[in-house]
Amino acid sequence: MRVMARAEWSARASSHADTVDALLRDHLDRRRRGVKHPVEDFLFEYYSYRPGQLRRWFPGAGVVLEGASPDEFPGHRDGALDLPAFLARRGDTVRWVRNLLTATASRPAQLGCFGLHEWAMVYRSPETRHAWPLRLGGAATDALVEERGVRCSHFDAFRFFTSPARPLNVLQPTRETQVRNEQPGCLHATMDLYKWAYKLAPLTPAELILDCFRLAREVRVLDMRASPYDFAALGYDPVRIETPEGRAEYAATQRGFAERGQELRARLLEVTTQRSLSGSR
């Protein structure tokens, strides 16, 4: 158990909050004005962690915060995370997340989907998920889905496919097959590292949750730039996956995200291993 002086942890908590405030300034300003943003809002609509939660700092297991009160750090006792109590409540979640992350990390990254999951969500549908125009129009969007096919391994993306698009996918993912299907090249599996990080809070150090958030934010931008929507008015140049050049750009960026995701996945696995948990008091 490492003992952290109050001056140190107070400074880290303050710096963490300032960093989050700077990252979210535009989002919070839009929210106050009631302005929607189809790219940025996703991280607070699809994911349940609120800005106020993201800015709160905690060290994770194995650290004693000198002079900390239970009011300052819920779930802590004598300045440290009460790990036995946490595991009594959340042990099943820890084990499930560890199994998913271990299985995903063991597989090679598949880079041939080219973001067509977003196209499958509007395939042959008179309505779209976002009130923005389609770059190629409805007919050309549908034609590209039919020409390229869909190779989506992520259940929480697949469940938003239109009914006509689902048979076109090479897999039929379910919640039950999630551990068997997820692979590190998937943009949504990489974004979901943020979800698994905060689901384990305060076992997960706040800095790791923030690192996962930052990566998810970057991945979301690629996801929408490669989508069928025209977001040029928001400053997002499209990744034209309907062209060979666009597919190459997508795969190269996807590969970089997969590598960074694997690094964060390893850090999250360290949080959930018995070795790191066994040192608790």
Q: Where are the domains of the chain?
A: 2-277
Query: What gap in Å lies between CA 13 and CA 18, rounded to an integer?
Result: 9
Cα–Cα distance measured from residue 149 to residue 168, given in angstroms and rounded to the nearest whole number: 6
Query: Can you list the alpha helix ranges (DSSP code H) found in 79-231?
Result: 83-105, 116-120, 137-148, 155-158, 178-181, 187-199, 206-225
pLDDT tier, 128 (very low <50, low <70, confident <90, very high otherwise): confident
Taking alpha carbons only, the member of 56, 162, 79 closest to residue 119 is 162
Nearest to 184 by CA among 96, 272, 254: 254
For residue range 146-161, what is the model confidence (pLDDT) as tens digits? 999 999 999 999 999 9
Q: Using the predicted structure, report yes or no on whether residue 276 has a pLDDT greater than 60.
A: no
Q: What is the pLDDT of residues 207-265, one digit of tens each?
A: 999 999 999 999 999 999 999 999 999 999 999 999 999 999 999 999 999 999 999 99
For residue 277, is pLDDT > 90?
A: no
pTM above 0.75, yes or no: yes
CA atoms of 272 and 261, how far apart (whole Å): 16
pLDDT (0 to 100) of residue 70: 87
Does the N-terminal peptide bond of residue 202 adopt cis geometry, omega within 30 degrees of 0? Answer: yes
**Pick from 109, 39, 47, 84: which is nearest to 260 by CA?**
109
Say what the pLDDT of residue 129 is: 79
Torsion (CA) 124, 127, 128, 131 in degrees, nearest 10? 150
pLDDT in the model for residue 275: 53
Instruction: Give percent of the chain above pLDDT 90.
Output: 93
CA dihedral 151, 155, 158, 164 (to 10 degrees): 100
What residues contact residue 205 under an 8 Å CB cut-off, 6+ apart? 58, 59, 60, 271
More confident residue, 128 or 147: 147
pLDDT over 70, % of the chain: 97
Angle, helix 244-272 to helix 206-225, in steps of 10 degrees: 160
Q: Are 65 and 59 in contact (CB under 8 A)?
A: yes
Tell me the pLDDT tens digit for each residue of 91-103: 999 999 999 999 9
Neighbours of 127 (CB within 10 A): 7
Tell me the backbone φ, ψ of residue 229, rounded to 5 degrees: -80, 155
Pairing of strands 76-77, 80-81: antiparallel
pLDDT score at 253 = 98
Amino acid 278: pLDDT = 55
Query: Mean per-residue pLDDT for 63-77?
Result: 94
Whole-number average pLDDT of the chain = 95
The CA distance from 242 to 136, in Å, is: 10
Q: Is residue 279 scored above 60 in pLDDT?
A: no
**What's the alpha-carbon Rg for the chain, to the nearest Å?**
21
Q: Is 5 in a helix, a strand, or coil? A: coil
